Amino acid sequence: MLPDPKEMMAGLTDEERNLLRIAAKHEAGHAVMRWIMELPLTELTANVGTGMCAGTKAKVQVKNYLLVTLAGLAAESKYGFYQPDFSSRDGGDLDRARLMLVQIPWLRIWPDLPANAVTDIAVPEHYQSTNDAFQRYFKEACDNLAPHEDLVDEIATRLAEQGERMTILTKEVGHDVLRK
């Protein structure tokens, strides 16, 4: 039997409650981006300082995976209103996003190049730096999430209140909250 969420919250310090709220907001950002991209969501959890937003392991377009990966940071930053210092931060999502941009060069192609400018031959001036591409995709994640701020907040609130119990409510979240 799972503990009562109110008892769980009552046992947390103010700092732990704040870390739980941040983790919940972060995971809600991932969940809403999955919804925007019409990708399945199977599990959503938040704990003090950590969490998880999982899908079905179905194949996903790399760009969509990158945007879902950055969506947690976008939600934490108030959709770009507070610009995080990415140079001093590391961790799972950030490391995954950076690795994708390093290992998959076509993600760094300038978005405004005419279609006939990009050929099979790699031309250095066609590519952004990894940092510039990172900033571009982070902005895109922020822009995609910002219109759904209320939805992110609702899921984050419910997730922080429910904690690990949100995994039981995934179907409810998918059908009741994540409705266009």
Per-residue pLDDT of 31-74, as tens digits, reads 999 999 988 887 788 888 788 888 777 888 999 999 999 999 99
What pLDDT is attached to residue 66?
A: 95
Q: Is 165 left (phi over 0), alpha (psi -120 to 50) or beta?
A: alpha
What pLDDT is attached to residue 121?
A: 56
Which ranges in 44-83 belong to alpha helices (H)?
62-76
- Contact 125/113 with Cβ under 8 angstroms? no
Q: Is the dihedral of CA 96, 98, 104, 109 positive or negative?
A: positive
Q: What is the pLDDT of residues 64-113, one digit of tens each?
A: 999 999 999 999 888 777 676 666 555 788 889 999 999 998 888 877 66
Length of the chain: 180
> What type of residue sits at position 126?
H
- Contact 166/46 with Cβ under 8 angstroms? yes
Question: Which CATH code of 2.40.30.10, 1.20.58.760, 3.40.50.10490, 3.40.630.30 fits the domain covering 5-177?
Answer: 1.20.58.760
* Candidate from 52-56, 89-93, 142-146, 147-151 with smallest mean pLDDT: 89-93
**Predicted confidence band of residue 29 (pLDDT cuts 50, 70, 90):** very high
